[in-house]
Structure formats: structure tokens, C-alpha cells
Amino acid sequence: MKNSYCCKAVSQSMNISDMHFDSVKSALYRVRNSYIPNLPSTLSEVDIPPKWQLDNAGNQFLRYLTPMPVKVLIFVTDRALKELASSEHWNVDGTFKTTP
């Protein structure tokens, strides 16, 4: 598991009991960030690898990614898609441009 590997990597490289919290925190972030892709600086650099398109159960979560110039990413689970398909009415809120 990644989390246990992360802790082992940090504990092997330093004696955690002798360190301050901020030092341990920084070391953990460095190891964690080595597994996470760099953030793109432009929309054209947005590329989502297949493993990041799945939910924790391994099901498809990223359903649609539009081409340039405007990127729209649609994330939805199978269950939510079935709920939408069986609904008579959809309420839409268009007050946001991006969400974290």
C-alpha cells in the first residue's frame, strides 16, 4: 500500500523521534508528491492518465473530456448516472465556472 511505503521510506531515511513535526510533515509531503503528477500550467497540458480516471473501486469515473480550446471534464459514477437516467426532472445550477 502506498501509505505504508511512504512511512517506511521516511522512517528509513531519518529518525522521526528526533525531528520536529514540520520536518516530518515536509518529508511525508515530498514522498507523497513523488506519486502524484505535476499540476499542468496550461489547459493544453491537461492529461489524465487511465489510473486517475477510475474511482477507488476501479470503476470508470471520468466519463468525458472535451478537446481544446475549452476543457470540460465530466465525472460521474454508474449509480449517479442511473439516478439521472431514471429522473423525470433535472435541476441545474450554472453559478460556478470551476470547482476544486
Q: Is the pTM of this model over 0.85?
A: no
pLDDT of residue 47: 80
Instruction: Check residue 48 and give its pLDDT.
Output: 83
- What local confidence, expressed as pLDDT, does residue 95 receive? 67
CA angle (40 as vertex; 38, 41 as ends), nearest 5 = 125
Q: How far apart are CA 51 and CA 88, in angstroms?
A: 34
Is residue 47 within 8 A of residue 71, CB to CB? The reply is no
Query: pLDDT at position 90, please?
Result: 85
Q: What is the pLDDT of residue 49?
A: 85
Per-residue cell: 61: 469515473
Q: What is the pLDDT of residue 54?
A: 92
pLDDT under 70: residue ranges of the chain: 1-19, 68, 95-100
Cβ of 82: how many Cβ atoms within 10 Å? 10
